[in-house]
Amino acid sequence: MKQQVLVLYLNSSALDDRVVGWASYDGTGRTHPTTGDSDEPPYATGVDALRDGWRLFQASQLIPPYPGHEYDTSFLKHEFLFEKLE
Amino acid sequence: METTSHLLTSVLMARFAAQGFLRFDSVVPDDLNAVAMDAMRAGVPDVPYGVPLSKAFPDDSFARRLVGLPVVAGALHSLVGPEPTVDHIAVHVREPNEGMAQPLHGDAIIDTRRDAFDVQLMYYPHEVTADMGGTLLVPGSHLRLTNESDTGRYQNLRGQIRLTCPAGTVLFLHHGIWHGGRRNDSAQRRFMFKTRFNPTTPQVRLWDTTDLDDPAVRAELTTTFPWYEHATGRLEIYNRIALWRTLTGDDTFDIDYWATRVSNRPGRTA
């Protein structure tokens, strides 16, 4: 059994919000995704990926900002990991 | 070196503050591009860390001519002052059909400075076409506090720039901007010359400020990008306000009251 992984970064913590970033990793070896290889996301929203058969297996926790760093920006906050198995 | 007639405008400085980079297409003449290509193929001598710009490059070198071009000299003066030091130089080469891209990254290490910044010049001596793996840039990522390639999982972000450009194009990048060399799917080697500059003077009003009150300045500073999450995008504006206050020395500057509102504590002094 081989795993394909799709990572979607969403506009908010809601799974039906729009995709702002994406990555994919293909355990089947059929495709070779890499950095900067497309300008359009594979799905418009996280739910669109579910509808296409992707299985959600991890979502970012909602973590309060550390005191004194409330205005800092860093990594994208709303990361959702999906898989397909074959 | 002529600089004063080619200083950046406030609108361009605001664009740099918002987007983390500026782009100047075809500003290097063809003859200098040819000299630079020959030099890069032969190997460009290293520059020791921290050498003043005026002493960093031999007089007859392409690098000396490059930083002496009025548009380049004026931009450098505006961003990092009259005599920055050269942090380091590098010739970046993306090999033909190499099969891999660089992970998305910021250069050096996480850099928490909020009242100073380094600038990286990227110079492309030949045309970069879509399949040559031109630099990937993420506009507006420069104020994010991340360390080097910890962002490597982000393969693509909405609104990213996959650089294509004519020969002789020069970019000026804030040190924090997320970027990477893309996979070169062509049969040609792709060259880019990079130099990092450190300021040696406070980076306050070093540009041509005659247009400081132009509404276009504020328009640049309010730019948002498609990859920003809605809520975090507001924090980007907040941090941009702080950067513009530093650059202008005006601690009352604000956009849509974001900074004023959250610092209003009547009766308190700190």
For residue B152, give the chain A residue with the closest CA: A35
Q: Is B52 buried (19+), middle (13-18) or exposed (0-12) by CB count in 10 A?
A: exposed
**Span A12-27, mean pLDDT?**
98
C-alpha span between B259 and B270 (Å, rounded): 15
The reply to whether A23 touches chain B by the CB within 8 Å rule is yes
At residue A80 the predicted structure's pLDDT band, cuts being 50, 70 and 90, is very high
At residue B3 the predicted structure's pLDDT band, cuts being 50, 70 and 90, is low
Taking an 8 Å cut-off on Cβ atoms, the answer to whether B151 and A75 are in contact is yes
Taking an 8 Å cut-off on Cβ atoms, the answer to whether A19 and B158 are in contact is yes
At residue B125 the predicted structure's pLDDT band, cuts being 50, 70 and 90, is very high
In angstroms and rounded to an integer, the radius of gyration of the C-alpha atoms of chain B is 19
Residue A14 has pLDDT above 60, yes or no: yes
Closest CA to B10 of B256, B254, B201, B213: B213
Convert the pLDDT of each residue in B38-85 to its tens digit.
Answer: 999 999 999 999 999 999 999 999 999 999 999 999 999 999 999 999
Q: What share of chain A has pLDDT > 70, as a percent?
A: 100
Residue B198 has pLDDT above 60, yes or no: yes
**Span A16-31, mean pLDDT?**
98
The reply to whether B220 touches chain A by the CB within 8 Å rule is no
Name every residue whose Cβ is closer than 8 Å to that of residue B39 and which is 6 or more positions away in sequence: B61, B62
Determine the distance in angstroms separating the CA of A70 from the nearest CA of chain B, rounded to an integer: 9
Taking an 8 Å cut-off on Cβ atoms, the answer to whether A20 and B229 are in contact is yes
C-alpha span between A60 and A81 (Å, rounded): 9
Determine the distance in angstroms separating the CA of B53 from the nearest CA of chain A, rounded to an integer: 32
Taking the model in full, what pTM does it have? Answer: 0.96
What's CA B35's distance to the chain center, in Å?
24
Convert the pLDDT of each residue in B140-195 to its tens digit.
Answer: 999 999 999 999 999 999 999 999 999 999 999 999 999 999 999 999 999 999 99
Determine the distance in angstroms separating the CA of B15 from the nearest CA of chain A, rounded to an integer: 19
Per CB-CB distance under 8 Å, the chain A contacts of B177 are none
Tokens standing for residue B147: 């360390």
- Give phi and psi for B237, each to the nearest 5: -65, -40
**Span B79-95, mean pLDDT?**
97
- Residue B168: the pLDDT is 98
C-alpha span between B84 and A41 (Å, rounded): 41
Residues B184 and B96: beta-carbon distance below 8 Å: yes
Residue B2 has pLDDT above 60, yes or no: no
The reply to whether A8 touches chain B by the CB within 8 Å rule is no
Name every residue whose Cβ is closer than 8 Å to that of residue A36 and which is 6 or more positions away in sequence: B101, B104, B136, B155, B156, B160, B162, B180, B182, B183
The reply to whether B155 touches chain A by the CB within 8 Å rule is yes
